[in-house]
Chains A and B, each alone.
Chain A
Amino acid sequence: DVKVTQSSRYLVKRTGEKVFLECVQDMDHENMFWYRQDPGLGLRLIYFSYDVKMKEKGDIPEGYSVSREKKERFSLILESASTNQTSMYLCASSDTRGNTIYFGEGSWLTVV
Chain B
Amino acid sequence: QKEVEQNSGPLSVPEGAIASLNCTYSDRGSQSFFWYRQYSGKSPELIMSIYSNGDKEDGRFTAQLNKASQYVSLLIRDSQPSDSATYLCAVIVDSSYKLIFGSGTRLLVRP
Q: Are B97 and A94 in contact (CB under 8 A)?
A: yes
Main secondary structure of the interface of A (DSSP, over half): strand
Known contacts: A99-B32, A99-B49. The answer to whether A58 contacts B98 by CB under 8 A is yes
| Residues of chain B at interface, number, CB under 8 A | 21
Q: Are B43 and A103 in contact (CB under 8 A)?
A: yes
Chain A interface residue number, banded: 20 to 34
Our count of residue pairs bridging A and B at CB distance below 8 angstroms stands at 55
Q: Are A98 and B103 in contact (CB under 8 A)?
A: no
Main secondary structure of the interface of B (DSSP, over half): strand
CA of A106 to CA of B49 in the docked complex: distance in angstroms? Answer: 22
CA of A101 to CA of B92 in the docked complex: distance in angstroms? Answer: 11
Q: Are A42 and B98 in contact (CB under 8 A)?
A: no
Across the interface, A41 reaches (CB within 8 A) one of B42, B97, B103, namely B103
Asked if B18 is at the interface (CB within 8 A of a chain A CB), the reply is: no
24 A-B pairs, CB-CB below 8 angstroms? A31-B97, A33-B99, A40-B103, A41-B103, A43-B88, A43-B90, A43-B101, A45-B98, A45-B100, A50-B97, A56-B96, A56-B98, A59-B100, A92-B99, A94-B97, A98-B99, A99-B32, A100-B46, A100-B49, A101-B46, A103-B43, A104-B43, A105-B43, A106-B42
